Structures are given as C-alpha cells and as structure tokens.
C-alpha cells in the first residue's frame, strides 16, 4: 500500500532512499498565507544532519533543502509544497558486503520478505535518512503551531542507564550538550558511557521525552483518532522506537485510582488540574494542560562487532558491519520526535475546527 503518506488535512508524503538521488517530502494541505523560506526548514534539518559530532555518522551531507513548489512571493499558496534534499556523499560501495546478507536488528530481511528484493545500499528506504522528509515537513508544521503560540520541545531523557529525573531538568542546558539532555551532569556521564560503547564496537539506546505547551483543550478525534492514538502511530512510525507512554505511562499500572486521578479546580475562572498524571490527555482529547510523553529507542543495530547471521540465499554466515554509523541515534532523533509531534498536532487542530456547529456558522459568516 501507499504507506508513505501521513495525515488527513495536513498531509505529508515522504520519499527517498539512503543512497538514491535524494530524499524529499510533499506537504499538501498547508494553509495559504504562511511565510516560508528554505531557511525555516534548513534550521531543523541541520539539527538532524550527520557529521555534527563524534556520535553521529561521518557521512558528509549538507542536507540542503530546495523548495520546489507551493510558495509564492514568500508565502505558502495552499497548494502542495515539494521539498527536495539531494544525497551527496553516498559511499554505496560500503554496503557491498551486506547486499547478500541480513544485518541483525535491521529491516533487511523483512524488506526482502515483503517486496522480494531491496535496495541494500545503506538500508534504502529503512535508513534513518528517510526522516529528512519528516523533519522538513515537520518544520512547516512547527512554524504553523508557533502561529498559535503552541510550542513543542523534545529532549533526551535517558541514554543507556543514565536517566534524568524530572526534578533535575534544566531546559536551558538542552542545547549546551551534543546529546540534547536537559542536564549537563547527566550528559557528561552519558558521554562517557557512549565513549565506552564505541570502544567496544557497541551501541546504546535511550528515551526521548516531549512536552507541548499551550495546546488548547479539545484536540483529538475519538474514538480511533484520539490524540494519544495519533501520537502513538507517529512515534512508532519512527525507526528504532520500541515503546511509547503518555503522562505517568507504565507506572500508572501500579498506582491506585485515588492517586492517579487528576483533581480539577477553578482558578481565574478556568478549569485547571492539580496534577497532570494524565499527561494532558483525557479520553483521547487534550485537556489544556501540558502534553507529556516519552518514546523508547533501541540501540543502533549497526555495530562493528562480528555477528552471526544468514545470507539471502539461506546460508549461515558472520557479518561485521563497517560503514559509518551512529553509536546512538537518540540525539539526532530528538528533532524527528518534534517533527512527528507537530505534524500530528497541526492535522488534529485543523480537524477539530469542524467539531461544533456554532463555530462553523460563525466561520462562514465572517
């Protein structure tokens, strides 16, 4: 099926492989009238591009984006916005040794099982480079959200065993360390841990947390397009994600109802909650509080250690993956989490405009 299109009103279609001619996205359904330049998008692509530091692949890509359509005289026109990033530094020959065998933890085997063969160069479509399209599209969604005063902030909550308790967050420090952790001390410990991983030709995983502020109450479409359901699809669509939880998440299973319920109270005439165990979502609809959720990423499956595996012709073999790989994907995935969150939210915000007749009548009276 056509699995590369996401969204109902604000819709992205991503395309491209790691070692093809390029990567891109078509953003359709973006409202007309948004100021948009390539810089607006480049800023986000730069956060995920490779070669930024010792924990990211040495692949040398500028990931320069070109707007091909949908913008006229600096503003979106309401027509599809096509964005193109050319691949530049493809070392396809690095992958000749994996053309005929399946890397453990990768999608090589499953792509062959599904499609009969695959573009084996750098993982093809299942490469992390696929997220360029998401980030480029997400940059537009984030710019739109900003127009409504909604902010999306993701950061690395844990790497390997180093998890920052919420009480020790210092958000100003997120951009002061290459791991995007909101606590420099933890970031330093995590760095040492990652250095050790690299020395051992091994890799690590971690948790990304995301907070959304100023989202109005009422967003989400029960019963199958609940806010959390849509976010969960969005998060699990990112490679390497193995878990997702909202608010108190898995820990709610060992609390009591009397502890987990967030009591309401009135402040300045507004309905508020004393606590936010729910993470800002009740019944699949935003409740006006901060949205909080976490996503678990597995360790990068590409490791230089020799691993047992099989060839596509059915023989046992051993594989040592060379090529250029991140020992951890979490830091570069932070912006991907923000992008997928924004894409989900903007679509649900637009869908919500139809929820009440009185609002629609007022809209068309204007």
User: Please, what is the minimum distance in Å from the beta carbon of residue 12 to its own copies?
Assistant: 9
Residue 122's contacts (CB-CB under 8 Å, 6 or more residues apart) are: 17, 18, 19, 90, 92, 94, 95, 129, 323
d(CA 3, CA 139): 21
Could you tell me the smallest distance in angstroms from the CB atom of residue 184 to its own copies? 20
- Comparing CB distances to its own copies, the nearer of 279 and 331 is 279
Residue closer to its own copies by CB (options 174, 330) is 330
Shortest separation between residue 171's beta carbon and its own copies, angstroms: 21
Minimal distance, residue 354 CB to its own copies, in Å: 4
- Beta strands 285-286 and 291-297, pairing class: unpaired
Closer to its own copies by Cβ: residue 45 or 227: 227
CB 107 within 8 A of CB 126: yes
CA distances, 341 to each of 131, 137, 260, 336 (Å): 13, 11, 25, 8
What CA–CA distance (Å, rounded) separates 215 from 218? Answer: 9
- Of 172 and 294, the one with the shorter C-beta distance to its own copies is 294
| C-alpha span between 317 and 319 (Å, rounded) | 7
Within 10 A of 87 (CB to CB), how many other CB atoms are there?
A: 20
User: What's the closest the beta carbon of residue 153 comes to its own copies, in angstroms?
Assistant: 20
CA distances in angstroms from 122 to 106, 188, 224, listed in the order given: 11, 30, 35
- Residue closer to its own copies by CB (options 53, 359) is 359
Q: How far is the CB of 154 from its own copies (least distance, A)?
A: 15
The residue among 5 and 192 lying less far from its own copies, judged by its C-beta, is 5
CB contact set of 341 (below 8 Å; sequence gap of 6+):
138, 152, 154, 210, 212, 231, 234
Pick the closer one to its own copies by CB: 247 or 323.
247
State how far the Cα of 8 lies from the Cα of 304, in Å rounded to an integer.
41
Cβ at position 156, least distance to its own copies in Å: 11
């Amino acid at each position: 099926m056509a699995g590369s299109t996401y969204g109902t009103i604000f819709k992205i279609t991503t395309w491209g492989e790691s070692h093809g001619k390029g990567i891109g996205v078509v953003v359709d359904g973006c409202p007309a009238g948004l100021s948009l330049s390539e810089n607006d998008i480049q800023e986000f692509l730069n956060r995920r591009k490779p070669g930024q530091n010792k924990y990211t692949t040495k692949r040398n890509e500028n990931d320069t984006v070109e707007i091909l359509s949908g913008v006229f005289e600096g503003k979106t026109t309401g027509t599809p916005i096509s964005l193109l990033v050319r691949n530049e530094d493809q070392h396809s020959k690095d992958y000749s040794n994996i053309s005929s065998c399946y890397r453990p933890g990768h999608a090589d085997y499953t792509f062959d099982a599904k499609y009969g063969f695959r573009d084996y160069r750098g993982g093809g479509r299942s490469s992390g480079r696929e997220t360029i399209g998401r980030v480029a599209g997400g940059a537009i969604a984030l710019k739109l959200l900003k127009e409504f005063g909604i902010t999306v902030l993701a950061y690395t909550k844990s790497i390997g065993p180093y998890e920052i308790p919420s009480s020790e967050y210092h958000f100003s420090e997120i951009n002061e360390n290459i791991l995007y952790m909101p606590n420099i001390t933890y970031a330093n410990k995590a760095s040492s841990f990652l250095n050790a991983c690299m020395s051992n030709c091994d890799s690590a995983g971690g948790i990304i947390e995301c907070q959304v502020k100023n989202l109005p109450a009422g967003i989400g479409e029960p019963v199958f397009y609940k806010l959390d359901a849509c976010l969960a699809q969005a998060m699990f669509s990112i490679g390497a994600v193995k878990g997702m939880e909202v608010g108190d998440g898995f820990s709610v299973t060992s609390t009591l109802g009397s502890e987990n319920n967030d009591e309401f109270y009135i402040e300045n005439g507004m309905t508020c909650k004393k606590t936010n165990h729910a993470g800002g979502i009740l019944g699949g609809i935003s409740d006006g509080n901060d949205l909080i959720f976490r996503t678990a990423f597995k360790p990068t499956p590409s490791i230089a250690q020799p691993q047992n595996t099989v060839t596509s012709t059915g023989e046992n073999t051993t594989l040592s993956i060379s090529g250029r790989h991140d020992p951890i994907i979490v830091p570069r995935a932070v912006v991907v989490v923000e992008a997928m969150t924004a894409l989900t939210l903007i679509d649900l915000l637009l869908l919500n405009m139809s929820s009440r007749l009185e609002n629609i009548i007022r809209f068309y009276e204007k």
